[in-house]
Structure 1
Amino acid sequence: MKSWVRNATQQARSGRFAGPPLEYGVNQSRLDPALQRAFVQLDCDDETQAFLETCNGGGILEAVASTFLGMFYSLTDANGILGRGQMFVLSREQIKHLLQKEQRVGGTLLDIGAGDGNVTQSIASIVDNVRTTEVSAPMVANLNKRGFNCVETSELTHPHVTEGKPYTVISLMNVLDRADTPMTMLSQIRELLDPEQGLFLLAVVLPFHAFVEVGTKRVPPSEVLPMQGGLCVERASFEASASVLYRNVLQPAGFELVSFSRVPYLCRGDMQQAYYVLSDAIFVLRVASGQS
């Protein structure tokens, strides 16, 4: 099975594979110069392959249950109730490489919108303590079962969050484009981060497409990020969208770049397809000089 995954990855890159491609590369000539300098080339490693090997679709009962729950709950809540739709973004080794931390860094991790906790678990291996937040009650229950100290909130002013600062690592994995007030969130993250040693790990699906889940509905966010030129509706390229996000959003929010990469954002699939994939931009940031 492992050799099949490796072959599938190679075939995906060469265009000979009918399944979802696993994209790690970028056209560096189309990137902002700061992103070019910070780019880290990653690849499908053993932990990524191990996740793909568990992606065997799902049974008909699970599919029926998911469809039924989707009539009453958000997709996130439905997945939390059923324990399905597990995601994979980065392996432990990839996280260490991007953070430029081969050894434990200690301190506390804050994982905002921690979802199923798979990414949380990877980052937790290099810190001493973990705090998480989630807006999905079923996901909160699952995170607490895994020992990830979670509360149900979207507010970064919640005592559970503020009592743990300053944070050594803050992760925001595929949440920014689903947040109602994303610019406010970035400002609050900057204030929560250790100004000297703290690192902010951000994953965003690109090209950019923002909406907020409200029950079974999707509504526009209250704060609209200045992403013109990098939007999905504009058919922007990955590189253009990443460059716009860095120049128009992350730099003005008071962050400077440590490293940048592209990885497939993998989701365990269903009866139709073993796994689904989107393109994630990964930014590792720190508080910019003069912002602390």
Structure 2
Amino acid sequence: MAPWRSAIGEAKGGASEAFNLRRRAGFHSSARLPKEARAKIIPCHESSGLAHWLSPPNPTREASARAARHGEELRARRTATAAPRFAQMKLFLCWLSGYALSLCLLRKMMWSGRYLRSPVTRSLYASMMNQGEAAYWKDNQEWYMCDTEKLCESLKPVFIQSYLDDGTRVFLHRSIEKSGWLSIQLYHSVMSSLFSMFMSRTSINGLLGRGSMFVFSPEQFQRLLRINPDWKSHRLLDLGAGDGEVTKIMSPHFEEIYVTEMSQTMIWQLQKKKYRVLEVDQWQKTGFQYDVISCLNLLDRCDQPVTLLKEMRTVVEPTQGRVILALVLPFHPYVENGGKWETPSEVLEVKGKVWEEQVNSLTEVFQAAGFAVEAVTRLPYLCEGDMYNDYYVLDDAVFVLRPV
């Protein structure tokens, strides 16, 4: 006989005998059966391996068990997924804290007179600062120095010696004050690091509203164009206007102000100032001419500088129109494209190593484009500072060009 049939027979026999015992004894619960009868039932179920056959499955209980197992699997998966995310968040917070701490240490803001308690020490500190400030302004006069003996004969009579004036001092003081705003500078530094992964530096500055530039003061602008404070003209075109702060210096002299800019965040800043923003490929096609075109520190940052010079020549008013052009020297052209620096497709042939030699060479470049140099000066190209520097400065050559 097959083993399973023998097991079934034993189970049935044990159950029948136990049932007969209960019936004779009048018992209604297996718990009240004699120990011998219970032993015949329980071992039968366990030893036969047919407990499932003898006790039919409960669908509700099995569904609950499956749901419980599924819930445990989901919790295990969530735990496995959340653990790496939590670790990444902790790592990011640690990096952010360390970054902020390093910036604070670099700033060294404790070296300030406000933390000195002793009156004698504070007085000595103030005296030292006054002497240092005098030397500081004296050193800044080097920004304007030019060896006129090295200039070519055509430039010597038109060179204008500039100086550190009140307008420039106001910008420098404001920039120094802003660089001391620790919380703002910390915020700008962190945001710049994050945005630099997918935005250009110019766009980041426009988004954060920082990094304003300074080329000349109102007085210096008037001296270059040989105009008085009440002089008025019709149209101004400012190419590559940035956030419009330099445009603001020139705007009181014009009825209509047009600007161009590549960065969308800078365009937002220009629109806030109510300037008329033109597309970078449309200012040449408006159908009218401009009385003054400003091209400030753009020629070394555009892809086609030779073409740009020729296009300005075609749209500037031919008799009374002027182009005011600034260029950082030494000349190092590059194009900013999505945070990357690329070589322009057109190259300006600028010769020489020192400032005066390159200015002489640029005169030939302008003549080839149809311009004559009417005035030239040396000015600092200033930019607002950050956590590390009160301001940034480059050497600018600023030309006033007339069409010929």
**Amino acid of the residue matched to residue 223 of structure 1?**
E
**Amino acid of the residue matched to residue 398 of structure 2?**
I
1:98 to 206, 224, 236: 224
**Residue 276 of structure 1 aligns to a residue in which SS?**
strand
Question: Mean Cα displacement is larger for which, 57-66 or 196-205?
Answer: 57-66
Q: Contact 1:167 / 1:193 at 8 angstroms: preserved in 2? A: yes
**Amino acid of the residue matched to residue 117 of structure 1?**
G
Q: Contact 2:284 / 2:311 at 8 angstroms: preserved in 1? A: no
Q: Which runs of 5+ in 2 are unaligned?
A: 1-125
Q: Which residue of 2 aligns with 1:17?
A: none
Alignment of 1:96-135 (within 5 A): 96-102=222-228, 103-135=230-262
TM (norm. structure 1) is 0.88
1:241 to 334, 347, 358: 358
Alignment of 1:203-282 (within 5 A): 203-227=326-350, 229-230=351-352, 236-247=353-364, 249-282=365-398
Q: Which residue of 1 aligns with 2:169?
A: 49
**Structure 1 Cα separation of the partners of residues 273 and 197 of structure 2:** 28
The higher radius of gyration belongs to 2
Matched, 1:154 2:274: no
**Amino acid of the residue matched to residue 393 of structure 2?**
V
Matched, 1:86 2:212: yes
**Amino acid of the residue matched to residue 108 of structure 1?**
R
Matched, 1:142 2:242: no
**Residue 251 of structure 1 aligns to a residue in which SS?**
helix
CA RMSD of the aligned region, Å? Answer: 1.7
**Structure 2 Cα separation of the partners of residues 32 and 72 of structure 1:** 45
Pairwise CA distance, 1:12: 3.8
Q: Which runs of 5+ in 1 are unaligned?
A: 14-21, 231-235
| More helix as a share of residues | 2
Q: Which residue of 2 aligns with 1:198?
A: 321
Pairwise CA distance, 1:105: 3.0
Pairwise CA distance, 1:126: 1.1
The one of the two structures with greater contact order (alpha-carbon pairs below 8 A, sep at least 6) is 1
Matched, 1:68 2:68: no
**Structure 2 Cα separation of the partners of residues 8 and 31 of structure 1:** 28
Question: Mean Cα displacement is larger for which, 22-31 or 183-192?
Answer: 22-31
Q: Which residue of 1 aligns with 2:146?
A: 26
Q: Contact 1:5 / 1:49 at 8 angstroms: preserved in 2? A: no
TM (norm. structure 2) is 0.64
Pairwise CA distance, 1:11: 3.3
Q: Contact 2:140 / 2:164 at 8 angstroms: preserved in 1? A: no
Question: Mean Cα displacement is larger for which, 96-105 or 165-174?
Answer: 96-105
**Residue 178 of structure 1 aligns to a residue in which SS?**
coil
Q: Which residue of 1 aligns with 2:292?
A: 169
Alignment of 1:173-184 (within 5 A): 173-184=296-307
Aligned length: 268
Q: Contact 2:380 / 2:393 at 8 angstroms: preserved in 1? A: yes
**Residue 33 of structure 1 aligns to a residue in which SS?**
coil
Question: Mean Cα displacement is larger for which, 185-194 or 96-105?
Answer: 96-105
Please list the CA deviations of residues 90-129 of structure 1 after superposition, one character each: whole Å capped at 9, or x if unmatched: 0111111100111323110000000111111111111111
